[in-house]
A and B are shown apart, each in its own frame.
Chain A
């Protein structure tokens, strides 16, 4: 072969081999589009429900933002424990800055929920599936508005966009949510189980939006529109008369205990945790954070050393708003709990014993006795582990105490709240109906074993813990259920002084959480909230 031929041959060889297309093929996942038809919209909807997982139950997500920033919860720094770089302390003291992991992760969590809902909408759902997805999208938008005052959103066709998302301002967001919910109420199956969207859940969410509308539009001085209040009452009545047959559960803690999926009559939206296989793929996981986060390391001697995380507490001022006979304060034996560990659910204070009545000990060998007073930073080494009243709203499921599937369903929308919202709407009507409100409040108090009130006001602006107010009643009924911050803002007292917090110096700043700097960079349509 002539050299020239060799030369040409080798180049031909080299070029001929160089023709790979470089198309990428996924092996354990797939790529899809609404038109390709290979994604299953039912499965996408299930995932949308599950994207509330964590966001709703974890102790450092939505729950923390709504509760630990309020007058009824705090996590003291206990020497070496629970400082966590100060994240908890600043929440109760209202001294947070724009960098806070929880603000960021809740924002992203809500975005994830909304995005999953939008993706479901993009993949040609049927009318019911679309209504469920729209309900879930509205939940995300509601909390975006509540916590951050701005609602990033995408149209269904932009479900996979990576560009900055448009942002709804409060007025537009409220209009969108009200229109959406009104439209889907008739489309949602009334037969849906409480862990799926139902007409009543949509009505409940609409009540929350209308009731808070005045605050969402003007957080400093909320102004309530009479028509909204009347609609809240109408919606509440529709729920009360629903074929689902809600009623106040006879024993308060049955709403939260391991058997609450059968014993509670108040579950409008309740998050299931019995294992995804048993519930068509929808499962919340991890309700145990509710008790682990507050109980002491030695609260159950069978798990001594790791029976709790010894964190969350409440303050004596809150404890003292309960009347003597009010069962909601707890301290009474609960079957399946007290006989196993000695724990009495509710607000837990004083000497702790095991199921046999023998005093439990803290890690230094002293009797385990929770004090009613607490400081933001505990420095007395004899109090470090025991300071503060503990809040065990969910009687533990000892079969899955620190892992696995606790049977307790997480209450998200609860019937008692419907009554309280109706009472509030009556009091906020242009012609306030305090008597009608009192009737509803006393209906609850009666069911909870508390003495009826003779008169009620909305709030005492000079004393947040004043007991004979609707705000205090909401606290007693709804404590540690992720509503408190929103209530305090609506009642106009979120910036007031309360135990272990001075009055906020900035008249605006803390009414909204800051948006994380990385989100501001990623989406120029978002504007940092005032004061940050």
Chain B
């Protein structure tokens, strides 16, 4: 090969020059080899003689030959990514030197789009988290593994419900639309991002929140997660890359004899934090204070406590793996059963995974496959996100009169509350709602090395999800409103989601000329997804209408008993979405100093309007490994210093699948309508992003980190725009790319890690990250008026109320309510005349902090995360716990009895219910004792105890400031609104792991 010859010649030349100059001093020649910790030769390591000038570099095999003057005693060996070493020459003429990686992260392999890269070669902003650094404890979806770990990543558990949605945003809100979720790619297969779990909304009870689409992944089988944050890294994902990309790599087998790993955890959960309401005594004295004695019913109960419980969690996992250099396999199983802290809530998971990697034809052909089958079942409580205060179990627990018994004397549920509330225990008993989601994720991957530097790869991936949901409210319930009381209602719902990917790639990796390597990728991808569903609802059953005469037959298993006239059936099938893409990437590396990456992707989507079928997404990035420069040789303080700059464009195509077409529909009873007119110009929104970053490692690599400045601008944002009237009745809004509008997200993120103490017995390392981000929506034509509203508020007396707006020059979903300035002489609230922009629901700062301590076999990990600078609208306090409740015989928040507020004060959305959202949460604590091998058979035994959501430090008065109840209005998502959600659970787990 040319470059080797060239290098050899170069080395010879240098040697000759050296020899020429030094030959008179009777120099001694030393030969040797420099290797890394695995024994492979290290190319390009520099060998210098202490006290003299000049030096040599090692060959591709790591060998060197150097001439040393007679007085020299020491040679210095250094190479990027390794600790420098001084070797005493003594009498040796042949020296073997093993270098130690200074900072493993610089050499680690990072998964990037359609391939891998060494971290040192990266030009973009990519964060990689390995399994050993994941959050521990009870993890229900893989996003939770990363919470607080990655700068720029804001991860919010939207509720405490087991399996509830974990919201992930990378570097702010790019979109006005719901599509702020990153693209998830599991072992190369891009996921649809939706969950097939049907939603259920019963009149009077409202709609319960959705489930997380990634619960089917076994978190213990995740080997690493790579987060592509800037456009240089994510632009290769084109029209789906705008919100960043999260690449999940699952664990694979390794060479060696078969290994069986087993793990078990058992634990308990309770409520992390309660909302302060009056107890019976406090309520009684409040009734006196407000002169409403009729509401004292004599009992002393804690209604909230009656609907929550201390609950049991169990997880069992097993994995079998092994292999040799030509074939590896891994099979794993997880069984998990988690009771929620609210009555009749549960998450059950069974996940099996089998994967293998096999090589043929002298390892030229490699075949990889992976199959995951998962069943996730939930039992759901009636904790809806949009009920009036009547129908939500948690709100009922909070507002039920604490002097009114929940039971009648004969032991039945009391259903005659004079103030009309539903008995929370009765609602819990009468409500049954179960989902069952089966997911199959499979991929088949074949790669063939056409030449040592050219590889062809085929990937076929499929993701199939089918979900059923059965729900009933038994007819003996009273006062929920809707059709349930006296009738009983039931629903049987099914959805199906099926997506497939075919990817062809050619990977080229070659040294072009000395010092210059080209790593190039060309590919084609076809992705298709289908979503369909059907269901029936009915009310009017003949049994379970009297709580003293119950039979244990669910309505949903006996739908035919429902009154035929009340039967409603439906089905839907979305048009297939097809995306066809051509993409390429070129990475040029010049002497490990100068790096250039260029990517390009063309995406065609069946969703786009006919005038905009193809979208093009370029990116370019450069990086400069400063430490590899000659002038840095003596600056040993820096073990690594890399400056990066990137620009790229990515897209987002999250809009209704049929939005580009005129859509007509036949409805029941001889009706047909134009549902919405099509927008033939509809296209993706484009995020143009700049990232400038600096990676560093100092103090022999013991302190390392990165700082990035980013600036992103969303152009042609997708927007559900009001249609100029006249327009179809149901199509009052259509999807457009709002011209003249943009969304900007600018900020800085900083992550640093430090290995503070590294001794044989005691190790202490910390990791910290902080992200500052500022978000703004720009649309000059709308002036100072809000463009649209979001942040729907619910509860008695607040019909149609909202709290947030999308407005020019304001952050996305800025709070837009009246300012509250106290009470007048009658105790009636005083408000500004008109609503004002009063706060930002998006945190300006979010932080993560992890510390790992180990002493001999004992290890302690603590993970905390927090966010600052945002407001939360406490809709719970506004609607559920307001002072007028006391007249209505409902409970109130404990703080308001001391205010001068009149019981007749209207419930007015205002800054009164806007609270600071600042918090710092100790989300993860784990203490582990590694016994190591026990006897001959048991290996790597460890026992541990872990805690999730240990406590939170905040002034916020709701259950948890880490909250995001979905209060979208007209399809515009809300941010930072709390409305009687599922309380956050604190879970303590005890567990053990071992292998055979």
Residues of A bordering B, CB below 8 Å: 3, 6-7, 10-11, 13-15, 17-18, 20, 22-33, 39-40, 42-44, 46-47, 50-51, 60, 77-87, 97-99, 101, 107-116, 118-119, 140, 152-154, 159-165, 276-277, 280-281, 283, 297, 305-306, 363-365, 377-381, 384, 403, 516-519, 521-523
Q: How many Å lie between the Cα of A364 and that of B294 in the bound state?
A: 7
* Contact call B904/A384, Cβ cutoff below 8 A: yes
Among B483, B679, B734, B800, chain A packs the most CB atoms within 10 A around the CB of B800
Task: Point out the residue from B660, B669, B678 that lies within 8 Å of A277, measured CB to CB.
Answer: B669
**Minimal Cβ-Cβ distance residue in A for B680:** A162
Shortest Cβ-Cβ A-B pairs, 8 listed: A111-B725, A112-B729, A80-B884, A43-B672, A305-B420, A83-B906, A523-B724, A27-B573
Q: How many Å lie between the Cα of A107 and that of B788 in the bound state?
A: 16
Q: Which of B170-178, B257-265, B603-611, B936-944 binds A?
A: B603-611
* Contact call A379/B884, Cβ cutoff below 8 A: no
Task: Point out the residue from B660, B677, B732, B802 that lies within 8 Å of A160, measured CB to CB.
Answer: B677
* Contact call A7/B454, Cβ cutoff below 8 A: yes
- Nearest CB of B to A521, in Å: 6
* Contact call A26/B674, Cβ cutoff below 8 A: no
Chain A residues near B580: list those with CB within 8 A: 18, 20, 22
Chain B residues near A380: list those with CB within 8 A: 904
* Contact call B723/A522, Cβ cutoff below 8 A: yes
Chain B residues near A80: list those with CB within 8 A: 796-797, 882, 884-885, 887-888, 906-907
Task: Point out the residue from A14, A23, A114, A119 that lies within 8 Å of B725, measured CB to CB.
Answer: A114
Q: Mark B456-474, 1 if CB is under 8 A from A, else 0.
A: 1000000000000000000
Chain B residues near A153: list those with CB within 8 A: 726
Take A44-B672, A80-B797, A162-B679 as given contacts and tell me if A31 and B661 are in contact as well, using a CB distance cutoff of 8 Å: yes
Task: Point out the residue from A78, A83, A161, A306 that lies within 8 Å of B479, measured CB to CB.
Answer: A306
**Minimal Cβ-Cβ distance residue in B for A305:** B420
A-B contact pairs, 22 of them (CB 8 A): A27-B573, A28-B571, A28-B572, A43-B670, A44-B672, A46-B671, A46-B672, A47-B667, A50-B671, A79-B904, A83-B908, A99-B786, A112-B727, A140-B726, A162-B678, A162-B727, A164-B724, A276-B669, A277-B669, A517-B782, A522-B722, A522-B724
Chain B residues near A521: list those with CB within 8 A: 722, 781-782, 787
Take A3-B450, A297-B420 as given contacts and tell me if A379 and B671 are in contact as well, using a CB distance cutoff of 8 Å: no
Task: Point out the residue from A7, A111, A518 that lies within 8 Å of B450, measured CB to CB.
Answer: A7
* Contact call A379/B826, Cβ cutoff below 8 A: yes
Is B481 engaged at the interface, CB distance under 8 Å to the other chain? Answer: yes
Q: How many Å lie between the Cα of A119 and that of B662 in the bound state?
A: 12
12 further A-B pairs in the complex, CB-CB below 8 A; given A14-B524, A163-B724: A14-B504, A24-B658, A26-B658, A26-B661, A33-B662, A79-B797, A83-B798, A112-B732, A115-B728, A159-B674, A160-B662, A363-B420
Take A22-B605, A80-B885 as given contacts and tell me if A154 and B726 are in contact as well, using a CB distance cutoff of 8 Å: yes
Residues of B bordering A, CB below 8 Å: 290, 292, 294-295, 418-420, 450-451, 454, 456, 479, 481-483, 502, 504, 506, 522-524, 526, 532, 571-576, 578, 580, 582, 604-608, 613, 657-658, 660-675, 677-679, 721-730, 732, 734, 736, 781-782, 785-788, 796-802, 826, 828, 834-835, 882, 884-885, 887-889, 902-909
Provide the main secondary structure of the chain B interface: loop
**Minimal Cβ-Cβ distance residue in A for B291:** A381
Chain B residues near A26: list those with CB within 8 A: 575, 658, 661, 663
- Nearest CB of B to A143, in Å: 12
Chain A residues near B418: list those with CB within 8 A: 363, 365
Q: How many Å lie between the Cα of A379 and that of B829 in the bound state?
A: 11
Task: Point out the residue from A20, A31, A78, A115 that lies within 8 Å of B663, measured CB to CB.
Answer: A31
* Contact call B483/A281, Cβ cutoff below 8 A: no
Q: How many Å lie between the Cα of A51 and that of B732 in the bound state?
A: 12
* Contact call B526/A40, Cβ cutoff below 8 A: no
* Contact call B660/A114, Cβ cutoff below 8 A: no
Chain B residues near A518: list those with CB within 8 A: 721-722, 787-788
Q: How many Å lie between the Cα of A39 and that of B667 in the bound state?
A: 12
Chain B residues near A522: list those with CB within 8 A: 721-724
* Contact call A47/B732, Cβ cutoff below 8 A: no
Chain B residues near A116: list those with CB within 8 A: 673-674, 728-729
* Contact call B669/A13, Cβ cutoff below 8 A: no
* Contact call B582/A18, Cβ cutoff below 8 A: yes
Q: How many Å lie between the Cα of A522 and that of B884 in the bound state?
A: 41
Chain B residues near A110: list those with CB within 8 A: 725-726
Q: How many Å lie between the Cα of A281 and that of B672 in the bound state?
A: 10
Chain B residues near A31: list those with CB within 8 A: 661-664, 678
**Minimal Cβ-Cβ distance residue in A for B970:** A518
* Contact call A14/B663, Cβ cutoff below 8 A: no
Chain A residues near B666: list those with CB within 8 A: 40, 43
**Minimal Cβ-Cβ distance residue in B for A107:** B725
* Contact call B571/A115, Cβ cutoff below 8 A: no
- Nearest CB of A to B457, in Å: 10
Q: How many Å lie between the Cα of A181 and that of B647 in the bound state?
A: 62
* Contact call B613/A22, Cβ cutoff below 8 A: yes
Q: How many Å lie between the Cα of A44 and that of B674 in the bound state?
A: 8
Chain B residues near A28: list those with CB within 8 A: 571-574, 665
Chain B residues near A79: list those with CB within 8 A: 797, 884, 887, 903-906
Chain B residues near A101: list those with CB within 8 A: 800
Take A32-B662, A51-B729, A363-B888 as given contacts and tell me if A84 and B904 are in contact as well, using a CB distance cutoff of 8 Å: no
Chain B residues near A523: list those with CB within 8 A: 724-725
Chain B residues near A277: list those with CB within 8 A: 668-669
Chain B residues near A15: list those with CB within 8 A: 524
Take A85-B801, A112-B732, A281-B669 as given contacts and tell me if A162 and B664 are in contact as well, using a CB distance cutoff of 8 Å: no
Q: How many Å lie between the Cα of A3 and that of B506 in the bound state?
A: 14
Take A10-B456, A277-B669 as given contacts and tell me if A306 and B725 are in contact as well, using a CB distance cutoff of 8 Å: no
Q: How many Å lie between the Cα of A104 and that of B781 in the bound state?
A: 19
* Contact call B801/A29, Cβ cutoff below 8 A: no
Chain A residues near B504: list those with CB within 8 A: 10, 13-14, 17
Among A60, A153, A297, A403, chain B packs the most CB atoms within 10 A around the CB of A403
Q: How many Å lie between the Cα of A109 and that of B675 in the bound state?
A: 14
Take A39-B672, A79-B906 as given contacts and tell me if A24 and B524 are in contact as well, using a CB distance cutoff of 8 Å: no
Q: How many Å lie between the Cα of A201 and that of B258 in the bound state?
A: 86
Q: How many Å lie between the Cα of A433 and that of B115 in the bound state?
A: 91
Task: Point out the residue from B523, B721, B724 that lies within 8 Å of A165, measured CB to CB.
Answer: B724
* Contact call A18/B524, Cβ cutoff below 8 A: yes
Task: Point out the residue from B294, B673, B736, B906 that lies within 8 Å of A47, measured CB to CB.
Answer: B673
* Contact call B292/A364, Cβ cutoff below 8 A: yes
Take A29-B664, A113-B729, A365-B418 as given contacts and tell me if A384 and B658 are in contact as well, using a CB distance cutoff of 8 Å: no
**Minimal Cβ-Cβ distance residue in B for A162:** B677
Task: Point out the residue from A85, A115, A365 that lies within 8 Å of B729, measured CB to CB.
Answer: A115
Chain A residues near B670: list those with CB within 8 A: 42-43, 46, 280-281
* Contact call B908/A86, Cβ cutoff below 8 A: yes
Chain A residues near B726: list those with CB within 8 A: 110-112, 114-115, 118, 140, 152-154, 165
* Contact call B785/A517, Cβ cutoff below 8 A: yes
**Minimal Cβ-Cβ distance residue in B for A166:** B724
Q: How many Å lie between the Cα of A160 and that of B662 in the bound state?
A: 7
**Minimal Cβ-Cβ distance residue in A for B885:** A80
- Nearest CB of A to B655, in Å: 13
Chain B residues near A364: list those with CB within 8 A: 292, 294-295, 887, 889
**Minimal Cβ-Cβ distance residue in B for A51:** B729
Q: How many Å lie between the Cα of A297 and that of B390 in the bound state?
A: 14
Take A7-B454, A26-B575, A39-B672 as given contacts and tell me if A108 and B725 are in contact as well, using a CB distance cutoff of 8 Å: yes
**Minimal Cβ-Cβ distance residue in B for A141:** B726
**Minimal Cβ-Cβ distance residue in B for A112:** B729
Task: Point out the residue from B456, B522, B578, B727 that lies within 8 Å of A22, measured CB to CB.
Answer: B578
Task: Point out the residue from B573, B730, B786 that lies within 8 Å of A517, measured CB to CB.
Answer: B786
**Minimal Cβ-Cβ distance residue in A for B740:** A521
Q: How many Å lie between the Cα of A177 and that of B727 in the bound state?
A: 19
Q: How many Å lie between the Cα of A464 and that of B576 in the bound state?
A: 62
Q: How many Å lie between the Cα of A42 and that of B502 in the bound state?
A: 45
